Amino acid sequence: MEITTMSQAMQLHAQAIKQGSQPHHQNYSKLFTFFALSPSGDLNYAHNILSSLQTPNTFYWNTMIRAYSNTSDPSESLRMFLAMHIQTDSGRIVPKPDNYTFPFVLRACGKMGDTQMGKRVHCLVLKMGFGVDRFILNSLIHMYGKCGELGCARKVFDEMPERDVVSWTALVDGLVDNGRSVEAIECFGEMVGCGVEVNDATVVAVLRACAEAGALGVGKKVHTIVNDLGIVEKANVSTGLIDMYSKCGCIDSARDVFDNVAFKDVCSWTAMIHGLASHGMSKEAVVLFDVMINSGVKPDERTMTAVLAACRNAGWSSEACVYLNDMRYKYGIMPNLQHYGCIVDLYARSGQLAEAGDFIRKMPILPDAVLWRTLIWACKIHDDSDRAEHLIKELNIDFDDCSNFVLISNIYASSGKWHDKAAVRETMRREGVVKPQGSSKIEVNGRVHEFTAGDSKHAEAGDIFEKLSDINERLRKEGYKPVVSEVLLDMDDEEKAFQLLHHSEKLAVAFGLMKTESRSKIRIVKNLRSCADCHSFMKVISRMYEREIVIRDRIRFHHFRNGECSCGDHW
């Protein structure tokens, strides 16, 4: 008899107690598994059963450790493991950890980002003679990846006597999670070269890498592999393809994948809605959302973030507020900071600075520093430095992270208060705070090239700078003038223009013009928001060189065609 509900399971448990069933009996353990691991079960009930057993074996302990490792707070999983290891649990006989215990414990360490505990568990694995167990080693790779210890993950991987698809996938996943998407793609290529057959988890991992790096060519090859394996209908794979094509600037291809998925879950709908929103196709995004609702699929928090992003990118403040209200009263979803952030960003971008401030102050949940930074940065964009400085003083913003340092430094620079800016920068230097470097990626012939501002490390740097100089000369003849106000440094306009010319996306577009066929699209991925000068620069290039340039920045996509941008200069 299959157990499907908690009520049914409790009745069977009562019968088992009456009949005197022993914990080692198959039916008893099956019940316990349902209580601990089933979505319809009850973890507290399972824990009470474990506490009532006088001599529970490793199966019961491992099941509970596994169950707690699946929760949002897996600390109880580690507590139970330590009780097994130290052999302390209210005087009861506690079984020692076995090879099935460690993968669940390592999962908990990874979710908590507890590197120190993870390394202690690793030492215990070796001490107990499990250092050749492939399942444990795979879990170690995954744990180290989640903790950002990629050197340790790679060392475990390289020293494995035998690797399988899970080993490779764990390494690829770890690289992607830590922002090393290009290395993840290279690792995937090495895996395929070794003849390892990929599975859906591998595909999802490498599609994430392609989406992050804008590696469309590689993504298309992965799509071919997906078709060959016949796994395109798997929800996680189809969603990964939709996300990859969307983030690589091919929204039509994303829509083709979406339309051909027979059974769409909320993740598929959300990926497509988010893709349309990020490409500035806000009307299409909200229409698709209505189709989703009418088809009986209930939205989740991420779906609503995508819909609000569509409103934000179109500047629809009233519509956004309706959707925010519908979240709670129509769909039973409590808005979080990300949802409120979309509204704040919408007001801020459109120059409604007072409205944005009032909205933040009236929020039913406590705003975080990110929301206030959004408003303060908008003050800088809309030339309201007085409001920005007032907010900085009113909020008493602490120098607690790099974002605050950079924000306040730029506000002082935009006001021409170079002495105050210098003081902030000196504090950054003294505290060892490093500003994140802007970078742009472009894929050419299946290889991803990454540039930073003024980058001279590329093998063809000399030719790229020469090409950029030629482009700049042509643009000047067409009347293009650099937006020197974007350079927040105390220097003359000529020096500022030189700085602007060597922004990372301009180096990338110059390389793209050198290496791609005439009239073909140039696709670039940037990790920061595009500046006003680069935006103007790309519009002129798209017209002069008759090229469509697709740039994904931190906020959205920009499709530059014939001297215009799809964002309508609203970004």
DSSP 394-438: HHT----SHHHHHHHHHHHHHTT-HHHHHHHHHHHHHHT--PPPP
Q: Is 89 left (phi over 0), alpha (psi -120 to 50) or beta?
A: beta
Q: What are the C-alpha distances in Å from 425 to residues 420, 434, 470?
A: 9, 10, 35
Rounded Cα distance between 238 and 489, Å, is 46
The pTM for the full model equals 0.85
Strand partners, 559: 550
DSSP 485: G
pLDDT more than 70, % of the chain: 91
pLDDT for residue 30: 85
Q: Is the pLDDT of residue 16 over 80?
A: no
Q: Residue 66's pLDDT band (boundaries 50, 70, 90)? A: very high
User: Mean pLDDT score of the chain, rounded to an integer?
Assistant: 88
* Structure confidence by residue, pLDDT tens digits, 291-336: 999 999 999 999 999 999 999 999 999 999 999 999 999 999 999 9
Helix axes 418-431, 402-414, angle to 10 degrees: 160
Rounded Cα distance between 307 and 450, Å, is 31
pLDDT for residue 301: 97
Q: Whose CA is closest to 175, among 160, 157, 162, 163?
A: 157
Q: Is the pLDDT of residue 393 over 80?
A: no
Quickly tell me which residue has 């475990």 as its tokens: 156
Which range scores top for mean pLDDT: 91-100, 343-352, 383-392?
A: 343-352
Rounded Cα distance between 10 and 339, Å, is 40
Query: How far from chain centre, in Å, is Cα 459?
Result: 30
Residues whose CB falls within 8 Å of the CB of residue 106, separated by 6 or more in sequence, listed in order: 118, 121, 136, 139, 140, 142, 143
Mean pLDDT of 493-504: 82
What residue ranges in 151-309 does DSSP mark as E strands?
A: none
Q: CA angle, corner 400, sides to 555 and 364, nearest 5?
A: 65
Q: Residue 570's pLDDT band (boundaries 50, 70, 90)? A: confident
DSSP 525: E
The CA R_g of the chain, rounded to the nearest whole Å, is 27
Rounded Cα distance between 82 and 109, Å, is 13
Query: How far from chain centre, in Å, is Cα 20?
Result: 51
Q: Whose CA is closest to 267, among 302, 308, 226, 223?
A: 302
Contacts 24+ apart (CB under 8 A), 33-40: 33/63, 34/3, 34/9, 35/9, 36/63, 36/64, 36/66, 36/67, 37/63, 37/66, 37/67, 37/70, 38/3, 40/4, 40/5, 40/6
Tally of CB atoms within 10 A around 126: 10
Residue 435 φ/ψ, nearest 5 degrees: -70, 130
Cβ contact 215:445 at 8 Å = no
Q: What are the C-alpha distances in Å from 10 to residues 3, 21, 28, 39, 53?
A: 10, 14, 11, 15, 17
Q: Coil, helix or strand for 486?
A: helix
Mean pLDDT of 232-242: 94
Rounded Cα distance between 487 and 471, Å, is 20
Q: Coil, helix or strand for 562?
A: coil
pLDDT for residue 430: 73
Rounded Cα distance between 480 and 33, Å, is 69
Q: Is the pLDDT of residue 492 over 70?
A: no
Rounded Cα distance between 47 and 62, Å, is 12
pLDDT for residue 89: 56
pLDDT more than 90, % of the chain: 61
Residue 41 φ/ψ, nearest 5 degrees: -80, -165
